[in-house]
Amino acid sequence: MHIYMSCFVHHMIRKGIFYEMGIPASEDNADELEERISGIVGMKDADCSTTWTKVREWLENPQLKETLREKLSS
């Protein structure tokens, strides 16, 4: 089992990315969000920096960002 340390979720919260996508995000669910996002973008076992690089790619692509939003909403 991977231990998540919310390496990029806190940044996403501060930047308002979750708010913009309509996803409830706080310190309370940061670890869960990090785990789910890592799995969605196919980086479940990668280190923080590598995962964040991939997440940024998804956020910069409107179609991938919508896919991420949909998967986090379900």
Q: Taking the chain (74 residues) in consecutive chunks of 10 residues, what is each chunk's mean pLDDT?
A: 66 95 94 94 93 97 98 94
Cα separation, 47 vs 22, in Å, equals 27
Rama region for 47: left / alpha / beta (φ>0; ψ in -120 to 50; rest): beta
The model's pTM: 0.88
Q: Which pLDDT value is given to residue 5?
A: 52
Q: Which pLDDT value is given to residue 1?
A: 43
Domain positions in the chain: 9-73
